[in-house]
Structure 1
């Protein structure tokens, strides 16, 4: 072997090593981003589930000037605004072309539509809240199916996820 053959072999080995190291770095980075997305979606589902404003209720027409209604409406509005912010925060943590993007966009749209509709007819805010909850429930089911894990909550809450996902059983 001459000097040029040795040099070419060394360069090829170095380039191959750099390429492998870069590929490992990219895979690790994508894995970390997917984990962060998964965690953000799980946290979002939990956050929405425990929102009092989104718990099932019997809708009724109310007098928007009654003091207890004014107080309840203020609490509901704050909760819906926080829920919308939580969905937007989770959406920012999605990886590009995530399958959850559309579901989160629909959630933001449903929450924004509620805020607009209740301003137009505050006496019907409980009806609009139930419609919003139904729209969110469909999107929560979609998100749970995407993350392929059972919700971490147990008992009563805002959503009833009908997507059957079994917890892994210990072996």
Structure 2
């Protein structure tokens, strides 16, 4: 099934969805940008679960392109799906890893039974992925991934991101 794709400009921590995707760093312990905002607004329960994951399955951190879920804490969601996007490189094609973030997040959402998922523009902040290319990969991957998720909302922080994604959604 192909989910309905919608775009909104705004703060992903203020969205209501079954699952909110966090553009996490591999430590799973919070950081800047979307990651820091999700941890701050979601509260200490998210960090506590991330610490448990680090102490068990992900002692070396969550690998780039993979995804794992925790509680959503105080966010208006049931779960946060953490995924680690790749740092953009001009000398190495890492687009498969970026696509994997979306595919793996949808796989985890399916395992959880999530029907609505909110995504940020993964890797477009401090990881410097060019917005237009990130939007192309994100929308194409969501549209071609077999999933039971019914609605994907891309929550975009500014007008530039919204315009790039709108050009891909059509």
TM-score by length of 2: 0.30
Greater C-alpha radius of gyration = 1
By relative contact order (CA 8 Å, sep 6+), the higher-ranking structure is 2
Give the TM-score of the pair, scaled to structure 1. Answer: 0.30
Considering fraction of residues, name the structure with more helix. Answer: 1
Q: Could you say which structure has the higher strand fraction?
A: 2
